[in-house]
Amino acid sequence: MGHKRWAAVVLAAVVAAGCSGQKKAAPPSDAAALPEVAPARQAAFVATEAGAAPGAAQASGLQAMAASRKLIRTGQVALVVKDYGHAAGEVKRIAESFGGYLAEAQAQRGAQDRRHGSLTIRVDAARFDDAVAALRALGDVRSESVGTQDVTKAYTDLETRLRVKRDTAERLREILRTRTAKLSDVLEAERELARVTEEIEQMEGERRFYDQQIALSTLTVALQEPSAIVEAGVLSPISDAIRESLGVLAESIAALIYATVFLAPWVLLLWIAWRLFKRARARRKAAAAAVS
């Protein structure tokens, strides 16, 4: 009797498991019958029908929506570095190590022969934060800013308009293939197809631009070498006096050169006039002596 009783219990458990499996298998078929529901909302519906907690379903839907967003990220970092050339090379290396490239660079020399400039790099958008952290390690951060532009709506609208234009172009091609319409209608269809094709190419170019901006983030890095700092000491008044004296001496020499250049032609003319006057006077004296 004991063995029979245990067999009956096992059989009842198997039957119960089968019924439970059938009940749990029902929701996916119901979810499959909802093709018009957005993927994120459909996932939340399936999770709810399967017995998951409403909070978990909502979190899953929000994660799916966040993953589908189209974001363009940009950033600016200003650094003070010991050597501009070495730091600029490191910025380029960071760009390449994070799946990007150096897009633009410019450098100048300023006061005290210090070099400064800026570099623009493109990095993989998924590794944007890591790239910013790597740039911070190159020197002392003076300023930093990060911006994010959400172009999800514009991108979605662009895809919708592009799909409509492609459908229109396909219908026009069908008209031209059949050529059952009048000649005037065929010519009008050809002109319209050319116009729609041009718009499609423009939209595709705009979408490619969006794709590039979304896939690769832009970072502008400003680099500057530190200025030489001279602490004031006991000899500061003497150095200041020498510096001012040198300035006065330079101004005096400049004034003397200016006066010399300005007066030299006039002095030369006066000298020539004086020589001519003396010669004329000597000739008059010689003529007077000969007469007498």
Of the candidate ranges 96-100, 116-120, 149-153, 278-282, the one whose mean pLDDT is the lowest = 278-282
Q: Say which residue, 183 or 220, is predicted with more confidence.
A: 220
Residue 65's pLDDT band (cuts 50, 70, 90): low
- Count Cβ neighbours within 10 Å for each residue of 53-74 and write b for 16 or more, e otherwise: eeeebeebbeebeeeeebebbe
Higher pLDDT, 231 or 236: 236
pTM of the model: 0.53
Q: What is the pLDDT of residue 189?
A: 82
Please say if the pLDDT value at position 5 is more than 80.
no
Helix (H) or strand (E) holding 274: helix 236-291
3-state secondary structure of 78: strand
Q: What is the pLDDT of residue 175?
A: 79
Output the pLDDT for position 131. 95
Domains of the chain by residue range: 2-67, 70-228
Mean pLDDT over all residues of the chain? 78
Question: How far out from the chain centre does Cα 246 lie?
Answer: 48
| Close Cβ partners of 61 (under 8 Å, ≥ 6 residues apart) | 40, 41, 43, 44
pLDDT higher than threshold 90 for residue 110: no
Q: Among all chains, which residue has been given the structure tokens 């490191």? A: 90
